[in-house]
Structure 1
Amino acid sequence: MATTEAVSNDIVDRTRRIEFLEAVRGIAATLVVLQHLLADEFPAYQRWTYHHLDLGRVGVVAFFLVSGYVIPLSLSGQTLRTFATRRFFRLYPSYWVALALYLALHFDEIVRQVGTPGLVLNVLMVHGMVGIVSALPPAWTLSIELIFYLQSAAAKAVRRLDISAYLGLAWLALYLLLCLVEWKTSRAMPTTLPALLFTAGVGHALWLRDRSGSRAWLPLLLAGVVLVPAGAVLGADPDGQWPPFTYSVSFLAGIALFVGCRALRRHEFGRPLLFAGAISYAVYLFHPIVIDILHRRSGLPDGPVFVIVNLLVIPLVGWLVHRLLERPSIETGRRWTRRWVPSASAGSTT
């Protein structure tokens, strides 16, 4: 029989393995906020980031690796009904409030841009699946996340959850095909969608490695490190938004961030980093609203002062949203699912 000390050590070890995901989330959300603030306030930084490294894209890539790791972890201990319900309560209430606030600030502009049908698709969070512009700027990634959720749920439904990791190679192939089309036609293609779904597949493969020692992660990771930059060079940025060097370096930096935190997963992460991870979704959704309101109402001078004030206010708003909206919503989802399935994994990562 295992000793009490051994059991306690095992619990601590498993907790720290989950903590590294919060650390990645916290860093990723901070990078997204910094990118938007610095690029808006400092033209010299905007020029530099365009040609070298986009911190926001680093954060987004890291977020998709986290999703790739977390979703199979959740699905492995939950029914599909439980999973869908908990995901809904985790994602939609906070998103709807953020979207409503942003619409209050930019309603006429957004309606002109996306139209009423596009606005409905934004409310449903499926706009990105059909190429509709995101009404809430950072929410362009959420539709792509939903595709990965649906893919993973379908794999779970046929009792082949692990196959979702290998589907990453199919997404990588689609990415390369679209890059080839860009090269042949000099027209921009939606290459980022399959690239990020491939990235989630890498995260899934890393979860398989930690769960059962699977080596599926190695060919996936190597393929991404080589072929995503190769595709960026092949596509050659026909619309001028993403220079191949910046696209490639930002992608590789996002992978390095996740892999680095994972390598430290048996170590204790500091409370500030875990706090940043806990409020990361709220920070991600609400930071453009804070920036917008402070631009309109604060009278603050542009530049360093504006950036510093935002870096103080945004985490505060994120904490309030997390405490008053996000956390109660998550708990509501858990209560509902406990009534349906008493044995559902109440403590699993959501």
Structure 2
Amino acid sequence: MTRRERLRELDLLRFAAALAVVLYHFTGFGGAGAWPAPSQDVFPEIAPVTRFGYLGVDLFFVISGFVILMSAWGRGPGEFGISRLVRLMPAYWVSVLLGAAVYAVFRMGHGVPGLIVPNLTMLQGGLGLRNVDAVYWTLWVELHFYVLAAVLAGIGITYRSCLVFMAAWMLGGVFADEADNRILQVMLVPTWSCYFIAGMALYMIHRFGPTLLLWGYVAASYLIALRWGAWRAEHVFGGADETVVGAVITGIFAVMILVATGRLSRLRRRGMSVLGALTYPLYLVHSQLALPLLDAVYPGLDRWTALAVVIGTSLLAAYAVHRLVERPGAAWMRARLMASLKPMRPPEEAPTPVMGGDRGGRGGADLDGGESRDRAPVDAAHT
């Protein structure tokens, strides 16, 4: 199996999305936080820009659609599920326990101790329980996508099945909203699915080349994203300027189109893989570290220096989590979870000799009926 070159520009974009969320929480958020006053009041100079940092999540979801389809291609549902577990859980468990420690020390968060165990499962969103950290809501949305992707992997991932899957997901979400069907709305997450579908279509453009049909998926997803982006700007994020939100969403789609068509390949540098590795733990731990850090250094330090200390410490903590927890934890989990799949596999049979006239005669097609061009090498570096 030939490994493809790692798309390091995605590492850069993932880190930029995480940094946008960090700056939103630390300098652009209008509610209560780690600062004595709302962070947008502490930093009025940059808050008009950083208040839109929440849209980093939108970029995360497009990247997720791209990368998860790339990761799942050629895998069964079991292997795909294991790849997600080992990627998500070690750093997530550290984050939950860190949050519990912070809440215990600062005697805040009434009822939080009873939330620790459910939060360790990452299923608290479906159980109707609060998150130990507010940022976990995005993981619950991601989990919906992973379940649907596992179903697709169980069916068999081919060019054809992806087209059917994306159309069914997009139209099913629209129909669920039209019918106000709560069960389908929960399963299909129609307010966010457009980003994952766009990412999947863009990966297929990257893998197989552009076609009018694939561009149609991207265009439809973009229009739906504009609709929900405007709705969230008005109803969730305090009347944010819909024109700015639309412009940022347009920029997100534009930059991901550049990735899919290879026009950002010149940005690939080896150091970007480190940024990609920092992204997930940084997203998980930054808001939990802010409270004890700011309590210790602010207002003894001026606000800008205190901000630099919080961001710098968050980056160092993210790197420590990656090196000391994620890497060894993922290796330990992967070996044992893969071993647990062995009883599911049929025993290996001796190869049947091929008679001369039939030798290699069916080598051009996959067993599922798809053409062999549907099976390109999996880029394991992105799993």
**TM-score tier after normalising by the smaller chain length:** 0.7 to 0.9
Cα distance change, pair 157–36 in 1 and its aligned pair in 2 (3 A):
same
> Is 1:32 equivalent to 2:21 in the alignment?
yes
User: How much does 1:276 deviate?
Assistant: 1.3
Does the CA contact (< 8 Å) of 2:76 and 2:154 recur in 1? no
> Is 1:230 equivalent to 2:227 in the alignment?
yes
How many angstroms apart in 2 are the aligned matches of 1:235 and 1:99?
27
Does the CA contact (< 8 Å) of 2:202 and 2:257 recur in 1? no
Cα distance change, pair 177–248 in 1 and its aligned pair in 2 (3 A):
farther
Q: Which residue of structure 1 aligns with residue 246 of structure 2?
A: 248
For residues 293-326 of structure 1, give each alpha carbon's deviation from its aligned partner in whole angstroms, at most 9, with x where no partner exists. Answer: 2112234535211122223222211111100011
> Is 1:22 equivalent to 2:11 in the alignment?
yes
How many angstroms apart in 2 are the aligned matches of 1:250 and 1:205?
20
Cα distance change, pair 238–156 in 1 and its aligned pair in 2 (3 A):
same
Q: Which residue of structure 1 aligns with residue 192 of structure 2?
A: 196
Q: Which stretch has the larger CA shift, 142-151 or 25-34?
A: 25-34
How many angstroms apart in 1 are the aligned matches of 2:266 and 2:237?
42
Cα distance change, pair 331–43 in 1 and its aligned pair in 2 (3 A):
same
State the identity %.
23
Q: Which amino acid aligns with 1:253?
A: G
Does the CA contact (< 8 Å) of 1:22 and 1:274 recur in 2? yes
User: How much does 1:176 deviate?
Assistant: 6.2
How many angstroms apart in 1 are the aligned matches of 2:378 and 2:231?
45
Unaligned runs of 5+ in 2: 29-38, 346-376
TM-score normalised over the length of structure 1: 0.78
Does the CA contact (< 8 Å) of 2:8 and 2:272 recur in 1? no
SS at match of 2:131: coil
Q: Which amino acid aligns with 1:90?
A: R
Q: Which residue of structure 1 aligns with residue 331 of structure 2?
A: 331
Q: Which residue of structure 2 aligns with residue 266 of structure 1?
A: 265
Bigger Rg, which one: 2
> Is 1:92 equivalent to 2:89 in the alignment?
yes
Does the CA contact (< 8 Å) of 1:103 and 1:110 recur in 2? no
How many angstroms apart in 1 are the aligned matches of 2:20 and 2:54?
6
Corresponding residue to 1:77 among 74, 79, 86: 74
User: How much does 1:171 deviate?
Assistant: 6.2
SS at match of 1:198: helix
Does the CA contact (< 8 Å) of 1:19 and 1:274 recur in 2? yes
Does the CA contact (< 8 Å) of 1:61 and 1:255 recur in 2? no
Cα distance change, pair 38–281 in 1 and its aligned pair in 2 (3 A):
same
User: How much does 1:280 deviate?
Assistant: 0.6
Does the CA contact (< 8 Å) of 1:111 and 1:119 recur in 2? no
Does the CA contact (< 8 Å) of 1:74 and 1:83 recur in 2? yes
How many angstroms apart in 2 are the aligned matches of 1:98 and 1:177?
38
How many aligned residue pairs are there? 325
Cα distance change, pair 110–305 in 1 and its aligned pair in 2 (3 A):
same
Cα distance change, pair 102–265 in 1 and its aligned pair in 2 (3 A):
same
Q: Which residue of structure 2 aligns with residue 186 of structure 1?
A: none
Cα distance change, pair 234–92 in 1 and its aligned pair in 2 (3 A):
closer
Cα distance change, pair 64–227 in 1 and its aligned pair in 2 (3 A):
closer
SS at match of 1:128: coil
1:102-117 aligned at under 5 Å gives the runs 102-106=99-103, 109-112=108-111, 116=114
Q: Which residue of structure 2 aligns with residue 185 of structure 1?
A: none
For residues 130-177 of structure 1, give each alpha carbon's deviation from its aligned partner in whole angstroms, at most 9, with x where no partner exists. Answer: 664422121110011110000011112122551443344236526964
Q: Which residue of structure 1 aligns with residue 33 of structure 2?
A: none
For residues 207-232 of structure 1, give each alpha carbon's deviation from its aligned partner in whole angstroms, at most 9, with x where no partner exists. Answer: 11222236343122212333332355
How many angstroms apart in 1 are the aligned matches of 2:97 and 2:53?
27
Unaligned runs of 5+ in 1: 1-6, 182-188
Q: Which amino acid aligns with 2:78?
A: R
Cα distance change, pair 232–20 in 1 and its aligned pair in 2 (3 A):
closer
SS at match of 1:15: coil
Does the CA contact (< 8 Å) of 2:12 and 2:276 recur in 1? yes
Q: CA RMSD in A?
A: 3.7
For residues 46-73 of structure 1, give each alpha carbon's deviation from its aligned partner in whole angstroms, at most 9, with x where no partner exists. Answer: 76258xx61232x211111121112122
Q: Which amino acid aligns with 1:91?
A: L
Cα distance change, pair 270–348 in 1 and its aligned pair in 2 (3 A):
closer
Q: Which residue of structure 2 aligns with residue 275 of structure 1?
A: 274
> Is 1:211 equivalent to 2:244 in the alignment?
no
TM-score normalised over the length of structure 2: 0.72
Does the CA contact (< 8 Å) of 2:71 and 2:80 recur in 1? yes
